[in-house]
Amino acid sequence: MLDINEKSVSAVLLNDGWHQPIAGTFTIGNIRIHADVAAGIDFGKSSATWDEHAAAAANGTTVTISAPLTSILAIQQRK
């Protein structure tokens, strides 16, 4: 088994392509999406969250990405 250190993840492959987390922001944990019309969606403890620079923004804007671990196709980590 390969052990991956959350803080060393440098790229995450999702269905739409490679994403590059800002160093040290990749974490595994709980995600709950709240909705006005429903009780919300609970992904449980098998979710990943990270910050990355917004692709369309040139002013340094960042976004937070959250996804179930089952949507991650590959992970690259720094050594």
pLDDT at 44: 59
Q: What is the pLDDT of residue 77?
A: 92
What pLDDT digit, counting tens, does each position of 18-69 carry?
Answer: 999 999 999 888 776 666 655 555 555 688 889 998 876 567 788 888 888 8
Residue 43, C-beta contacts closer than 8 angstroms, at least 6 positions apart: 30, 31, 32, 33, 68
Q: According to the model, what pLDDT value does residue 61 have?
A: 84
Structure tokens at 8: 């060393």
Residue 14 has pLDDT above 90, yes or no: yes
